[in-house]
Structures are given as structure tokens and as C-alpha cells.
Structure 1
Amino acid sequence: MSNDNQQPQDENKLIAVRREKLQALREQDGPTFPNAFRPEHKSQALKDAFGEKSKEELEEAKNIVSVAGRVVASRGAFMAIQDVEGRIQLYVTKAARPFAKSLDLGDIVGIKGELHKSGKGDLYVQMDEYELLTKSLRPLPDKFHGLADQEMRYRQRYVDLIANPDVRDTFVTRSKVVQFIRTYLNGNDFLEVETPMLQAIPGGASAKPFITHHNALDIDMYLRIAPELYLKRLVVGGFDRVYEINRNFRNEGLSTRHNPEFTMLEFYQAYADYNDLMDLTEDMLRKLCEEVIGTTQIKSTVKNGEGEVVQETTYDFTKPFRRISVFDSILHFNPDIKAEALADEAGARQIAEHLDIPLKDSWGLGKVQIEIFEKTVEHRLDDPTFITEYPTEVSPLARRSDTNPFVTDRFEFFVGGREIANGFSELNDAEDQAERFMAQVAEKDAGDDEAMHYDADYVRALEYGLPPTAGQGIGIDRLVMLLTDSPSIRDVLLFPAMRPE
């Protein structure tokens, strides 16, 4: 019999034994899953408070503590439990031995007793009082290695969190990142708002939406691809600074950087332009690194199949972030490309063909330049960099440059070859916006299922008057990937999208 078949059979036997133990508990007096125990202490808090005390000092103090957690180790007279902060040891007293022997790894227990320190210097709680709170019916995994187990880690995140403390750290960091952003924006007079996730017209980005049907209204509706147009409606209404930390949904492919639902920060500031937002972004991200990560030197590693580091890169958030246009960045990273050719549609198409970039006949010069940029520049933007002056053709919501209408006052922010943010001075010319929507409709009619719809109500809002405004979106998932050195977006999503088992 193969090992693949043997493992599930062995696991089933262990589960059967645990179910028998649970049945025995059900036949006893009292609750099988009691809910009266209240732990008063956490593992790390105890280590912080008493870790420097000597063994003799603790024996003399006779501190009584109560802890609760999952049994993760059992070695002779000692056991270890894991709570939200980490692990702490338990000493099995003579009276507690029958109870300890009845336990399985994974069981959740409540313990009360004196706090002591072992000869090795480890804190432990003496099991003076003890109670089984939850019987675990499934055995914990022995190890998590290899592609197959990686898949299981994503599917069974609850097990992953038990078995891998570093995974818990990633999601604690994610929470702190979001909390910092809220605090920072609130401190800069931004108002947090909520906009619809279910929309009659998907807008604010070029993406393929998820479609559903509302029975009562008898209309098709869309999960939002971005909150942008609603947030700018609020600026029209008089909220000069607004933001939303939102879930967006895009019916597109899966990759190490893409998940069909993802978290974005979008914020809008009236009487500001894209230069103001670049300044704000640089300040916010630098302070975020300092306060949440503890350093402005962010490390990124590449590991081999055995988990060994084979390459390490450091991104410096201390220095001023670089700012360079799309056009100039292409020339910078491709010294063989001539500016005259890149500025001419026929010349740019010839460059793209030489680079084996497939093109559509309907694309203009701006779109061709962006294709060249994405193929030759994007992955080489390691240190924090603002790429500016995106072509108007690929920026349907951004304000045209006053000095060069071929481009817009727009930037994208890159670190480590990843796009983290997208921002621009907003288009507040209602007639120009209507024309760009019509151009997007033509693209959609030509077969582009990511092109935008015509949003007549948004045009009407602009006709009431949108003050000069700048807006930006920051991908929270990609930002957390960067800050936690995570190679895949699945590593920073508690429950990533996956094909059903």
C-alpha cells in the first residue's frame, strides 16, 4: 500500500480514538465543552513581567496565574500550550498526571497554578487546577514543507496558524499596517466613509467585473471593481478629504500578485494635485515603515525549494523616492531605444514588435508606450519610485497635463518591481469626462471586456462641479507582501481564493 494512502488511514485511526474519548466525556456529568474558565494571563505577558526573575524569587513570590491554550507539546513532566501570544510550559503535578495522560495534542485546556522557573530558565505554570475546555478530534500536522503542504496551508489556514507562528506574525503586521494608515489619514483631516460594494454600473478602473442579479429590482448588478467614482461624488458634495479601506472584486486571473477579491485604500483630497499626493505617500510610507516594521530598510529575499535564502535585496525608504516619467524611464532602462522613435506611433510599434509585444490595431501611441514600459521597465523598479506622466489614452479618469495634453498628471508607485499605488490629479471637466467614457464604450463594443461603462450619473455629478482634486489607490495586499517579505499574495490573505477541493 502506498504512503499516500497510508497517511489518511493512520489519521482516520487517530480521529476514531479521539472520538471515543469525546464520547466518554459526553457520558460523564457536567458539560462536555465547558465555558466557565477565564484565563487571566497571556504567555508573552508573563514572560515580559517575570522572565528576568530568578528561580528563587519566583518560588518565594508564589504568584498564582491562570492560562488557557492549545496543547502543542508533551515531554515527560512538562507540557506546552500555545495561546495568541506564543507558548508557555506547564508542569504536570502528581495529581494532574491522569488528566495529562488523557490529553491529545491539539486539545484546549485551562490551567491555574503557581508560576515557576525551570533549571534551564524557562517559565512554567504548575498544574494545580486544570480543565479540558475543547477536545480536538483531528491530529495536528507534524510538519509543513513542500508544494502540496503549501496548498493545504492556504486551504486550512486555521491549521496553518496553529502550526506556524511566523504566519500569525504576518497577519498581526497586516492589521497594524491598516491601523497605522487609518491613524495617519485621520490625523491629516481625512474622513473615513463607506461606499456601495454592489453597483449598477462598475466604474473607477479598467477591469472585468463579477456580475450578479438583484431579484427584487430585476436588474443585473456588479461587485465593485473600485470605489473611485462614489468617493469623488462625495468630494462634489463637499467632503474635501475622504478615504475608504475597501474590498474590490475583479473577475480576472490568479497569480502571486492577483486575487479576485483584494483590499485597497483609496483617498481623495480637494485643492491638491498629484504632486501633493506623492509627497503625502512618501511621508506616510516612510513613517509606516518606522512605526510598524521598526526600520526603513525593507529586506526582500528569494529562497530555493529547501527554504534557503539565495538572494537578498534591501529597499531603502529613507532616501527621497525617485520620480521619473513613463517616457524617460523607457529610455533610461533601454539605452538602445531612441526618443524620436518612441515618440512616434509607427516607431513605437516597430520597437514593440522587436520586443515580441503583441499589439492591437486599435491601440494608439500611448497604449503602445505602456506595453513597452510594462515589458521592459516595471520589473526593474526596485527602490521606491514614482513613475509619472502616463498617457491620456490609458488614463480615462486622470486630468490632462496643462503643458502636454498627450499625458496626464498621474503616477504609479513601484517598489521591488511591484506596483503598489496609482494616483492622479482628477479629471473635473465634465465634457472631457463624457468624451473619455464614450471612447471607453467604443473599446468595450470592440471587444475589450475590461473597458469602462458610461456612467451618466457621475458625469452629472461633475456638472455640478468637482473642485480641483487629487486621488490615489494603494494596494494593501501588495504593500503587506513587501513589508513582510511574502512571495505570494496568498501569504497575506487569510483565506485566498482557491478552486474547491
Structure 2
Amino acid sequence: MAIEENEFISNRLEKLDAIREMGISPYPPRTPDRSPVEFLRTTGETEEVLNTSGRIAAMRKHGKTVFCDISDSTGRIQLFINKKNLDDTGWELLGKLDLGDIIWVSGSLFVTRTGELSVRVVSLVLLVKAVRPVPVVKTDAEGHVHDAVSDPDFIYRHRSLDLMLNESSRNRFIARSRIITAIRGYLDSDGFLEVETPILQQIYGGAAADPFVSHYNSMDDQCYLRIATELYLKRLVAGGIHRVYELGKDFRNEGVDRTHSPEFTQLELYEAWTDYEGMMTRF
């Protein structure tokens, strides 16, 4: 699909071509060794040369000195880039960078006069040249956020931007993953066996819901996306696996609202030698 061009995108595409003319790949296949931003912040001021990488979140130019902020999934750190510390190629490349580009840098760590831990950059590598501009979200000295990306319809359709710009969204994704890991750990430690049951089923059941209908081309037969995992799990219990669970996707071709989605993750577990009161004590 062709990229819809406007003035900002055209400018970035020109820079992309110029970078290629310099003999630099704007999308190299590998990233040099790096440490997370959090590691640099934990290390603090040091003369040791450390490497990191991240997306450019802010850029301030002052003649032959440029200050940048880069961020990764662990945090954000300031870069101090002075022309005398970079080779000519690196300084020329710096002039073709924009917000949203992803770069790799190396250098020692020092604290500026304003108390900001910074990387004194001596080497710079472009990892990704962003063609589309990234929304700029600013936080003032009092902690107030300006131009936040918060429209629900927009962030649901552009989840990558939501995660890039909203820390609260990233935290929710991390929390969800850790909750699922904790549930698995709890059930596994109590003797439950995690299994995977068929998603495509010739007879759907286990709940009262309308299914999504599909078709097996090779067998010329109709099938359905499962609406529940219940029936196959109970077959496993009958077969001798007396503590069993599945944490997987179910699909129900019904309404959509704040608490209902046609595709959702569901935990189902079954256990022999007990009743509903015993199951209620599991959580």
C-alpha cells in the first residue's frame, strides 16, 4: 500500500533517500550489543563506555551540541551529542534524524549541571528511520501532560502508538502477562495439567452462544470457531487426567460492548473427586 504523502512525510522520505546515498542502511538487519536504558540509569555516572538504543522521544539542537531523549521499554535517558565527539559521518547522520527514529549509541555517563544523567555519545548508529511522524506528548515541570493521545477509538485502532506514548497502557499489558503467568504457576503447582484443545470444531458446545462459521476446504465440511473449551476438557477428565485447565481464546459471534468481545481469553479448569464447592476454594 502506497504511503499517503504530506509535507512531513515527504521531508522524511527525502532524508531516507539521503541516508541511503551516504551508504547507510536505514533498516539494518541486526542491532549491536546493548544494555537496557534502566541498566544505564542504575549504573549512574561512569567513565566506562556503555551501549544502549531506543526511540528518539525529544530533540533539542544548540549549534554544535544536540540533546536527545531516547526511550525503550525500561525507561528514558538523555543523550549529549557534541560535534567534536562524533566522526563526520555520525554528525551528518544526526542532522537527518527525526522524532520517532530508533538509534543505537555508545558513550560514558555523566550528570549535567541541571542534574540530568546523560550519555556522552561517541558513536551513533541508525536502526530504524521512521517515515510517519509520531505524535508528540509533552509533560511540563508540574507533571501535567499536554497533547496526550487518549481518544479511545484512535488508540484501539493504533495500539502501537498507544503503547509507544502511554505508559499506563504498557503497564496494563505487562500486568496482564504477569497475571496469566501467576495463574499458570498456581495451577501447575497444584497438580493441574495445562492442555490445548481444538479451536476449529465440527460440533460447537459448552455454552449458549452463536458461533463463527468456517469451512474445511480439503474435506468440504463446515466447522466452527469454538465458543468454549468445556467439552474437550471434560473428555480429558474422563480419560484419566483428573486436574486439567486451558487458558485460551474463545469466539462468540454476538454483540460487542464495554464488557463483551467476540474474541476473548478464558480460563476453564476441571477436577475430578470434588464438587462445585471444592472448585470454589481454588481461587
Same fold (TM over 0.5): yes
Match of 1:92 in 2: 81
Choose from 17, 20, 24 the match for 1:23.
17
| CA–CA distance in structure 2, aligned partners of residues 22 and 30 of structure 1 | 10
Match of 2:126 in 1: 132
| CA–CA distance in structure 2, aligned partners of residues 122 and 232 of structure 1 | 59
| CA–CA distance in structure 1, aligned partners of residues 43 and 182 of structure 2 | 27
| CA–CA distance in structure 2, aligned partners of residues 157 and 128 of structure 1 | 34
Deviation at 1:30, TM superposition (A): 4.3
Q: What is the identity percentage for the equivalent residue pairs of Structure 1 and Structure 2?
A: 43
Match of 2:40 in 1: 46
Structure 2 stretches lacking a partner, 5+ long? 137-146
| CA–CA distance in structure 2, aligned partners of residues 119 and 201 of structure 1 | 70
Match of 1:266 in 2: 268
1:79 aligns with 2:64: no
Match of 2:236 in 1: 234
More deviation, 163-172/191-200? 163-172
| CA–CA distance in structure 1, aligned partners of residues 200 and 184 of structure 2 | 24
Deviation at 1:35, TM superposition (A): 3.1
| CA–CA distance in structure 1, aligned partners of residues 49 and 152 of structure 2 | 41
Asked if the contact 2:19/2:96 (under 8 Å) is kept, the reply is no
Choose from 45, 48, 65 the match for 1:63.
48
| CA–CA distance in structure 2, aligned partners of residues 28 and 257 of structure 1 | 52
- Give the secondary structure class of the aligned counterpart of 2:241: coil
Asked if the contact 1:112/1:127 (under 8 Å) is kept, the reply is yes
| CA–CA distance in structure 1, aligned partners of residues 189 and 113 of structure 2 | 50
Match of 1:107 in 2: 101
Cα deviations by residue, 1:141-172 (Å, 9 ceiling, x for unpaired): 133456xx321111111111111121111101
Cα deviations by residue, 1:276-324 (Å, 9 ceiling, x for unpaired): 121111xxxxxxxxxxxxxxxxxxxxxxxxxxxxxxxxxxxxxxxxxxx
| CA–CA distance in structure 2, aligned partners of residues 36 and 210 of structure 1 | 41
Deviation at 1:234, TM superposition (A): 0.1
Deviation at 1:98, TM superposition (A): 4.0
- Give the secondary structure class of the aligned counterpart of 1:29: coil
Match of 2:280 in 1: 278
Flag the structure with larger Rg: 1
Match of 1:449 in 2: none
Structure 1 stretches lacking a partner, 5+ long? 1-8, 51-57, 282-501
Relative to its length, the structure with more strand (as a share) is: 2
| CA–CA distance in structure 2, aligned partners of residues 261 and 14 of structure 1 | 37
Deviation at 1:215, TM superposition (A): 1.5
Distance 1:100 1:28, change over 3 A: closer
- Give the secondary structure class of the aligned counterpart of 1:235: helix
| CA–CA distance in structure 1, aligned partners of residues 275 and 43 of structure 2 | 50
Cα deviations by residue, 1:164-185 (Å, 9 ceiling, x for unpaired): 1211111011100111111110
- Give the secondary structure class of the aligned counterpart of 1:140: coil
Q: Which has the higher contact order (CA 8 A, sep 6+)?
A: 1
- Give the secondary structure class of the aligned counterpart of 2:244: strand
More deviation, 20-29/247-256? 20-29
Relative to its length, the structure with more helix (as a share) is: 1
Distance 1:48 1:275, change over 3 A: farther
Asked if the contact 2:149/2:155 (under 8 Å) is kept, the reply is no
Match of 1:314 in 2: none
Deviation at 1:121, TM superposition (A): 2.9
| CA–CA distance in structure 1, aligned partners of residues 160 and 201 of structure 2 | 33
Asked if the contact 2:149/2:162 (under 8 Å) is kept, the reply is no
1:166 aligns with 2:168: yes
| CA–CA distance in structure 2, aligned partners of residues 200 and 252 of structure 1 | 19
Write the letter of the residue equivalent to 1:68.
Answer: S
Match of 1:481 in 2: none
Instruction: State the number of aligned residues.
Output: 261
Asked if the contact 1:223/1:249 (under 8 Å) is kept, the reply is yes
Write the letter of the residue equivalent to 1:169.
Answer: N
Asked if the contact 2:57/2:69 (under 8 Å) is kept, the reply is yes
Write the letter of the residue equivalent to 2:160.
Answer: Y
Deviation at 1:214, TM superposition (A): 1.1
| CA–CA distance in structure 1, aligned partners of residues 101 and 177 of structure 2 | 28
| CA–CA distance in structure 1, aligned partners of residues 80 and 33 of structure 2 | 17
